Structure formats: structure tokens, C-alpha cells
Amino acid sequence: MDHAISTADPAPAFFSDGRRKVRLPGDDRLHSDFAADIGDALATANIFSRGGSAFTVDAEARCLRIVTADFLRTWVEQHLVCYKIRTETQSGSTITLRRTMSLSDADAVLAAPQFLERLQPINRVNAVQMPVIRASGWLELLPPGYDTESRTFTCLDGPAVVAADLDFATSTLNDLLREFCFADGERSKSVALAAMLTVYGAQLLPEKSLRPAFIIVANSEGAGKTLLVKCATVPVLGSVPTGSRARDDDEMRKLLLSTVIEGRHTLLLDNCKGHLSSESLESFLSCQTYSGRILGHNKSFAGQNNVTVFVTGNGMTVSPDMRRRSLFIELHLPTERAEDRIFKNRLEVPQLLEKRTEILSSLWTLARAWFDAMRPPPSRSHSAFPDWCDVVAGIVEFSGIGCPLEPPAESLSPDTDGADMRALVRIACTGSTASLFAFDELVTLCAEHGLFERLVNERGELDHKQRAGLSKLFMRYDRRTVAEHRFEVTGKGHGRRYAIKKLD
């Protein structure tokens, strides 16, 4: 219902409540002008622009929610009042009427550049005060509320984060991780700490830096894979991410896009089975900006990829591309039954929330100590995420816990394809420096030595899909050096041959 007030009234009640008044579009009033006025009225409100869309902060979920026309038309009335002016036919006098903007008006506003360009841009929503290295080179904690330089909104009700003694900080984090059965000791433990710092210290990295995925594998259920993810995420996010492996690459793309759209910090693919090879996921880990069509909307979105991916699985294997983009944590459960193991240090969500200030303060202390020491680099680097190495790996190694970039033992590596390829070229060249093979001859060698077991059975019988998969895998190694051997593919179809030459 319209609420009419005569313009003869010098101070209409709805004009004096502090909210800005915006005239609706109509005769002699363009939609572009209306959108610009709405944007001006909301320029400092908690509504933001990102990737060509408007977003609000979901304070409970600690993420961004895309603004719909249905939502906008009433949400704006916290900040402004829309009105129209109507001229009476008989008297010629005008009256002012309060009116909620129509759905079509709201749609037009959300699509208008005159509206979006006036909103504050946003890249991240933080549940806690997180460290940032400013453009000036100074290290500090982001303040609560919106920060213009970093384009970050920090929730107002986060726990306190304070600097602590460095020895206390390292002791706190060592105690947090002390009961995990790391299969290779300090290496996996240093990767676990790096995972925690990656989630908390993401804004220490230069903008659009790439991060590794963290893959946690174990020999049995109940070894603590998901518990380790909780240690890395609950102190920062206030909750543990949930998720599972998508059924196919199309579903994976949808999952990745929704994660980016909502500004999520993490993605968990929990309890993965078998072999993990996903072109969508591999591509995601190598892109700074991710784009796609918004589900349920007739528009596309492109936004900064700030997501840290966690993957867990028992006896899981991964593709070489996945291995190259990831760091691995190996857990080994020594008992026959997981339920027989007793943890003295309980680390479920309630306990982690109780320790939240202590954990965050310890991570902040490590970052400050590294920064004050002139940012010493780590002893190793990695070509897939060099900026991450300089910062996060540098902090971990400076803390004295070890270098997270040390390679895992080959016997523990989930990249069985890479290990099997290295074994194959060595076997193929046994007793000679160069050999030439047909496809079926390599299949026979694989069957005899138990290589590529997910594709080749012990009899060496492959169906069409398995043959195509193995052929594609071999092609990935064309003209590459593998275990001191040169691997080359020549010819096509049935005439294709595989040359393996031992390098001098």
C-alpha cells in the first residue's frame, strides 16, 4: 500500500527519520539515475561488489551471499526510503508516496554499473583478525569491520589475538600436534603446521598468489585425518568445513565455483577413495581467478580464488598433476582398531574453540617473529607456488619445526603413477642403454612387475577404457626425463612406439 503525504507538509514524518530518500524511476526519472542514487546511499553500508555482482556478509556462516532482487528491495529499507511523486488530475497538486521498489526495479539496480561501481569492493570475509603485509611493507592485524586497502571485512565478534612469547607459541603448536602419528616424523608435522598457517596467514601472501593443496593420507580409518583438518580450520573459521569428492568433473566445477562465489577460505574433499585425478581441480589449484556461470542466474561470475583445498583419504593415490600442486601429510595408525587408541589431548571442535585465542595468538607470534627477523626464506622452494614458499614455508622453517617442502619418501608418496613410471623405465632398460617398445610390450612389463595396477591387471588384459587411459598417461611423459632416462613417443595408432634411453 502507498502511504501518501501532501507536499504541503514542510516536514513529512518519513522524511525526518534519518534514512536517505530516493525517488523511484518513472516519468523523467531514469533507471541509471535511480541506481546511482541507491549506490550512493549504500556506499558505506555492508553491501559490497565482487565479480560484477553485489554481495552481503553472512555473519553466521562467515561467507558472502549474492544479493538477489527479492532480497534487495526490502533490505535497502534499513538505509533508505524509496518514494514516488503523483500529481492529482483534478487539483494539479502533488503528493509523495512511500513505496517498496518493484522486483523489476531491483533487478535493474543489480545489473547497473552505476550501482555496482559505488559499492565497496570485497575479496574476503574473515571470522578473526588475520595478519596482513600492507603495501607500505608493514605487518599488522586487520581491524574489525571493512578494510579498504585489503578489501576485507573482518567480523566484529572474533576472539582476541595477541602477541605471545616465541617459545610459548612453538610449545603450544607442538603440543597441539603431539599425538598425531606422522608416518615420517618432522616432515609431515611441518606440513601440518604449514596448513594451519596457510589458512590463518593467507593475506601475508602477495595478492593472487597460488597455494598448495594439502592431502592427508593414512593407512587406516581413525588415524586422525579429519581431526588434523579441524586443527587447521576451526581456530580460524570457527567451524570445520564439510564436503566430499564430486561425482564427476562437471559437478566438481560447480562445487569449486560456489566455493569461490561465497568467498570461502577452504574446501574439504573428505574421505576420498581410490585414485584422485580431476582436471577441474588441478586447473583450480593453478588459477588466481576462477569464473563460471552462476547456478540459477543468467549471468557469469569471475572472482579471486582464495581457497585452500584439503583432501583426506585412506590408501588414496593421486595423479602426477595433483601431486605437483600439493603437499602431503602421511599418518600411520599403529593399532589394529582405531577405537582402541586413546587421545589424551582432545581436539574436537568444542576443545579447539576453547583453545582458539591461544592457537591464533601462537600463529600470529610465529608470523611476527619471522617478519622481525627480515623474512628469512626456506631452504627449499617449489615452482608451483613460489610466493607461498617464501612466506609460509619460511615461517615454518624459521620456527624450528622443519621444512614443509622436503619431499616425502617414495614409498609413502600417493603419486603411484609417478613411482610406477620411474620403475618402468628402469626395468625396460635393464641390461641396455636404449630400447624401443610397442604399447603391448610395455603392458606386459607392467603386468609382470605390478605397475599401474589401477589400469593393468596381473594378466595384462586391458579393455578399451584402460588402454586409452594408459596410452594417455604415457603421452604425458613424452620427451621428458624420467629417473635418468629419456622417454619419447613416436608414430601414431598401431605404429606408435616408445623409446627409452638411459642418459649419460
One DSSP character per residue, 195-224 reads HHHHHHTGGGSPTT----EEEEEESSTTSS
For residues 232 and 310, state if they share a domain. Answer: yes
What percent of the chain stands above pLDDT 90? 69
pLDDT for 282 equals 94
In a domain, 152, yes or no: no
How does pLDDT run across 301-316, given as a tens digit for each residue? 999 999 999 999 988 8
Among 60, 88, 121, where does a domain finish? 121
pLDDT for 155 equals 94
Instruction: Give the domain extent around 21.
Output: 3-121
In a domain, 421, yes or no: yes
- C-alpha distances (whole Å) from 195 to each of 141, 169, 205, 243, 306 are 19, 16, 14, 18, 14
In a domain, 147, yes or no: no
pLDDT in tens, the chain (504 residues): 444 444 433 444 455 678 999 999 998 899 999 999 999 999 999 999 999 999 999 988 889 999 999 999 999 999 999 999 888 767 768 888 899 999 999 999 999 999 999 999 999 999 999 999 999 999 999 999 999 999 999 999 889 999 999 999 999 999 999 999 999 889 999 999 999 999 999 999 999 999 999 999 988 888 899 999 999 999 999 998 887 888 888 999 999 999 999 999 999 999 998 888 899 999 999 999 999 988 777 788 999 999 999 999 988 888 888 989 999 999 988 776 666 666 778 889 999 999 999 999 999 999 999 999 999 999 999 999 999 999 999 999 999 999 999 988 765 567 778 888 989 999 998 888 878 999 999 999 999 999 998 889 888 889 999 999 899 899 989 999 998 999 999 998 888 999 999 997
For residues 94 and 193, state if they share a domain. Answer: no
SS (H, E, C) 10-65: CCCHHHCCCCEEEECCECCECHHHHHHHHHHHCCCCCEEEECCEEEEEECCCCEEE
pLDDT for 153 equals 97
Among 104, 121, 138, where does a domain finish? 121
For residues 74 and 190, state if they share a domain. Answer: no
Q: Which of 390, 321, 363, 380 is nearest to 187 (CA)?
A: 380
How does pLDDT run across 392-445, given as a tens digit for each residue? 999 999 999 999 999 887 655 677 788 889 899 999 988 888 789 999 999 999
For residues 103 and 175, state if they share a domain. Answer: no
pLDDT for 413 equals 64
Within 188-245, strands assigned E span 213-218
Q: Return d(Cα 504, Cα 500) in angstroms, integer.
A: 13
For residues 111 and 188, state if they share a domain. Answer: no
pLDDT for 53 equals 94
The DSSP code for 24 is P
For residues 237 and 192, state if they share a domain. Answer: yes
For residues 423 and 387, state if they share a domain. Answer: no
Here the CATH number for the domain that contains residue 267 is 3.40.50.300
For residues 367 and 452, state if they share a domain. Answer: no
Q: Return d(Cα 103, Cα 184) in angstroms, integer.
A: 60
In a domain, 360, yes or no: yes
pLDDT for 223 equals 87
In a domain, 404, yes or no: no
Residue 487 in 3-state DSSP?
strand
Query: Of all residues in the chain, what percent are helix, strand and coil, respectively (each to 5)?
Result: 35, 25, 40
pLDDT for 226 equals 93
Tell me if the pTM is above 0.75: yes
For residues 288 and 252, state if they share a domain. Answer: yes
Q: Return d(Cα 496, Cα 474) in angstroms, integer.
A: 11
How does pLDDT run across 233-286, given as a tens digit for each residue? 999 999 988 878 888 889 999 999 999 999 999 999 999 988 888 999 999 999
For residues 185 and 278, state if they share a domain. Answer: yes
In a domain, 140, yes or no: no
Tally the domains of the chain: 3
In a domain, 184, yes or no: yes
In a domain, 126, yes or no: no
For residues 267 and 206, state if they share a domain. Answer: yes
For residues 10 and 49, state if they share a domain. Answer: yes
pLDDT for 338 equals 63
Among 398, 424, 442, where does a domain finish? 398
